[in-house]
Structure 1
Amino acid sequence: MNRRNAVTPFGWEIKQKLVEKRMDQKTFCTTYHIPTTRLSNLIHGTRRATRYRKQVSELLGIEE
């Protein structure tokens, strides 16, 4: 059985902002040239991905 990592508070903010923009994760990643795996890492907190964290924060207007 697969165990999924819980979504972090920062991940919930990302998801909320994407809903507000009416954009799914894949479209967001394709539009802004962010690897889908890195966005997933940010949402679930499995990897720091500092470079992309800053970029996503700026694009979505999220405080770090």
Structure 2
Amino acid sequence: MANRIPPYEELPRIKALIEIRDKPPPCLTGNVSVSYKDFVEKCLQKIPRQKGALVAQNLTIWEHLRPL
């Protein structure tokens, strides 16, 4: 979605949900900062306990966000 294209958009919705659940998250490509890429990777952690702690450590990401 960061690239404005949903993951697995070519698949039927149920199949896409299964792919998202079972496969590792896609990597960001294109012109994105290292800190933004790091933040997104932390948000996409599949283990909820890890996600919150990792995101909280990287609160400086907000300075990189801008409206679409």
Flag whether TM exceeds 0.5 (same fold).
no
**The structure with more helix, counted as a fraction of residues:** 1
Greater Rg by CA: 2
TM-score (norm 1): 0.29
